[in-house]
Amino acid sequence: MKHYSSVIIGHITMDRNVDHLGNEIRSPGGAVIFSSASAYALGHNVLALTKVAKKDQGRLEAFTVPSENLLCLDCESSSNMYNQYFTPDKERRKCVCTSIGTPFIASDIPDDVTADIFHFAGLVYGDFPNELIKETSKRGKIAVDVQACLRHVDENEGGTMHFEDWADKKEMLPYIDFLKTDAAEAEILTGLEDRYEAAKVLYSWGAKEVVITHNTEVIAYDGEKFCSCPIKARNLSGRTGRGDTTFAAYINERLTHDMEHSLLYATATVSLKMETPGPFRGTREDVEKYIDEFYK
């Protein structure tokens, strides 16, 4: 048996990113890359589990984890995305899914793999059927980035994506130990602009611990108390992957630390990561130096 602190499950995507000035960059992306990078950099033993078509195997080079911490399964269809950003802070964007990755199923997770947390780091609705999450909850704690529960692909409209409420949220939230949303997603789920009040509602519906990211701070709520920590990035050149980096760092730290410590390390990690494009390539020591300089 192989045991990991977390198994991070999700598709790699080839992204075409166009900024507000019209500059275009093509690069592999996807929550599974950013999430595994931050957790591994902080010293956690994680497994990145992904699926790509054979012709797209070159995308695996984007991972920062060593080969023994990466499991790639063959599939018929890989994921491709087009992202157009309308503002310098990249908060407003248009997203188009030009190819949908083959959904994950329970048998994709090997029987000889055990983990403290199974982290569902998806891209679009349909990546993870409800039954997959339910079945996997019997094997460990469940962490879900709600993006893949809200972001729908309009296949009849050229792959244009839109967000809509998660119809099964009240059925599925009780299975989730760690839930991550951003401020906009929290409002879609709850109808509340106040992200602190939204966190309370999401907890009341069954999520054990709620993490909400915002461009100014990250908050966490466990039903008893809130923790918050400001984002202190000095530039936003590495904005892509903000939530993924934060969430994976937080939940893996949470296995052995309290909320305050975990949120500090997660927010410092993402603040440092956001200053450089791509997945986080620093170390735990780099994060601790950043904390000493900017958080104390």
pLDDT digits (tens, 9 = 90+) for 211-241: 999 999 999 999 999 999 999 988 888 888 8
Does the structure show a pLDDT above 80 at 246? yes
Does the structure show a pLDDT above 90 at 106? yes
The rounded percent of the chain whose pLDDT value lies above 90 is: 83
pLDDT digits (tens, 9 = 90+) for 39-96: 999 999 999 999 999 999 999 999 999 999 999 999 999 999 988 889 887 777 788 9
Q: What is the pLDDT of residue 85?
A: 87
Q: List the domain boundaries for the chain.
A: 2-294
> DSSP states of 5-74 as a string?
EEEEE---EEEEEE-TT--EEEEEE-HHHHHHHHHHHTT--EEEEEEE-GGGGGGGGG--S-GGGEEEEE
Domain 2-294 adopts which CATH fold? UDP-N-acetylmuramoyl-L-alanine:D-glutamate ligase (3.40.1190)
Q: Rounded to two decimals, what is the model's pTM?
A: 0.94
Cβ burial, residue 293 (10 Å; 0-12/13-18/19+): exposed
Residues 30-35: what's their mean pLDDT?
96
Q: Which two tokens stand for residue 293?
A: 């300089």
Q: What is the pLDDT of residue 269?
A: 97
Do the beta carbons of residue 161 and residue 151 sit within 8 Å? yes
Q: What is the pLDDT of residue 103?
A: 96
pLDDT digits (tens, 9 = 90+) for 126-138: 999 999 999 999 9
